[in-house]
Chains A and B, each alone.
Chain A
Amino acid sequence: MISGRALLSRSAPLLACLGLLGIWQVAALIINTDSFPTALEAIRAIPSILGDKESLINILASLRRMAIGFGVAVVVSIPLGLMMGRSRAVASFFNPLLMVTYPVPKAALMPIIMLWLGVGDIAKMLVIFLGVSLPVIYHSFQGAKAVEEKMLWSGAAMGLSAAQRMIRIVLPAALPEILTGCRTGLVLALITMVTSEMIARQSGAGNILFNALDMGQYDTVYAMIIIIGAMGIGLDAGFERIRGRLVKWSEPSFDIPLSFA
């Protein structure tokens, strides 16, 4: 009984995927226009995209840019966020700057950055970097701020230097929060990647998508949407698994629905 239920809860996202595809299929059959192919037609177009060498190279290039932008952003943002969390001066130095830049759409900087750096990889990676760093900084900041003073005092009493306390106490204590930020950042990296390619229209997954739209190859458009969507869901699920390994000790407590009915 329990294992059956566990199996059900594990396969629930898969069932949800199938359900959504089913709704799509039915809706497409009802609407029945050229610009809205059925789910099956779209799925059938996927192998021809992934089989085509050029578009595969394009998609992999997109992923590489995303990985570099995301990696650099994480490496820079976590130490900055942790320092902001532990030092009032650092926090009040950077906070207003972050607040002002927060509502700026990062992918919208693309045209300006392209003007300076050209349409190449660097411009796109810079935009992804900017998009990812804010949530990671913010969550690291919150996580470091919430570390219990007593643990730091004990560390200091045992003779840890400030840098050691940062690495051995603050970092692990803030890790769950940091990873939440990284998860948001990962989704944002994918979004920024696609958007920047839609705007720069030179190479990459976003470009394939819009070229297909311009040429009226509707099944390719929808197949590309499925591919990008699957990337998002896959990356998120993979990251969730890593997070589960790293911070097993801090399960989020809000996984049970409240019931009074």
Chain B
Amino acid sequence: MKKIALVEDNADNRLLVQVMLGDLFEVIPYESGGEALEGIARDKPDLILLDISLPEMDGNEVLRRLRADKATSALPVIALTAHAMAGDREKYLATGFDDYVTKPILEEEILISTIHKVFAGRASPA
């Protein structure tokens, strides 16, 4: 079973995503960017779901640090964001995210299909 790191400060959102994905993936939750950076190096997930609006260290900074570290630079990272506007997908891809999912996540199928799409994209180079 593949491991998904979930970086999300909202406890209810963490529980919600864990229930949505729990039958398909091993979900490892982290409450903050700092905790995630430590934990990801230890837990070695296959993919990261990263909230953008984290307190203290936001998702963009967490991504920057992941990409700067040789051990984590190649990990696929999906942004979770409530700030969804036209052009956001391009903006997040340009920043270095593999994709993004808009919160609230009302249907688990959207999240699951995005994860599968990112895994498939990494498995078959363009």
Same complex for A and B? Answer: no
A contacts, CB < 8 Å to B: none
Q: Which residues of B contact A (CB under 8 A)?
A: none
